[in-house]
């Protein structure tokens, strides 16, 4: 199997065996994305006078109406984009670098990609670059 992998054009000699912990900036992006997804999913239940409505009115530029419009518009687009990104991430990074599908490491990377998007790509590329130096 190893000789097959090395002879296959779509695989790399570098194998990813670990998950890289997100940086503080990654955690900020994760929080923003989860808040956006949560607002988009919960938007039908956010009505004038609710606690969340009041928070959005007070802190979001443009008020609660603008925040809900953005969430309802962006969440389906982002969900579609991130779903495609997860498939590409699996093919171009996980599979190519020997991460077994459905393994613990695979799930951690794929969930990160689903939530973070491009930040997960940059982090896995950092892991690959580090392994190349070794």
Give residue-wise pLDDT tens across range 68-79: 999 999 999 999
Domain hosting 31: range is 23-133
In this prediction, residue 15 carries a pLDDT of 94
Our count of domains for the chain comes to 1
* Distance (Å, whole) CA 29 – CA 118: 10
103 in a structural domain: yes
Name the region of 102 (left: φ>0; alpha: ψ -120 to 50; beta: rest): left
80 in a structural domain: yes
Mean pLDDT of the chain, nearest integer: 91
Q: Residue range 1-20: average pLDDT?
A: 72
Band (2; pLDDT cuts 50, 70, 90): low
77 in a structural domain: yes
Angle at 52 between CA 70 and CA 34, to 5 degrees: 55
**What SS3 state is found at 50?**
coil
16 in a structural domain: no
11 in a structural domain: no
pLDDT of 4 > 50? The answer is no
5 in a structural domain: no
pLDDT of 106 > 50? The answer is yes
Q: Residue range 92-96: average pLDDT?
A: 96
Band (58; pLDDT cuts 50, 70, 90): very high
pTM, two decimals, is 0.83
Band (8; pLDDT cuts 50, 70, 90): low
62 in a structural domain: yes
15 in a structural domain: no
Distances (CA, A) of 15 to 5, 11, 64, 93, 96: 11, 9, 47, 10, 8
Percent of the chain with pLDDT over 90: 87
């Amino acid at each position: 199997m190893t000789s097959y992998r090395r002879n296959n054009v779509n695989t790399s000699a570098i194998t990813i065996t670990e998950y890289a912990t997100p940086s503080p900036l990654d955690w900020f992006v994760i929080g923003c994305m989860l808040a956006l997804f949560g607002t988009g999913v919960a938007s039908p239940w956010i009505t004038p006078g609710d606690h969340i409505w009041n928070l959005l009115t007070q802190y979001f530029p443009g008020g609660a109406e603008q925040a809900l419009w953005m969430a309802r518009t962006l969440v389906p687009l982002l969900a579609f984009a991130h779903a495609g990104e997860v498939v590409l991430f699996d093919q171009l990074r996980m599979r190519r670098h020997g991460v077994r599908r459905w393994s613990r490491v695979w799930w951690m990377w794929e969930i990160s990609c689903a939530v973070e998007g491009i930040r997960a790509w940059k982090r896995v590329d950092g892991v690959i670059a580090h392994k190349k130096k070794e």
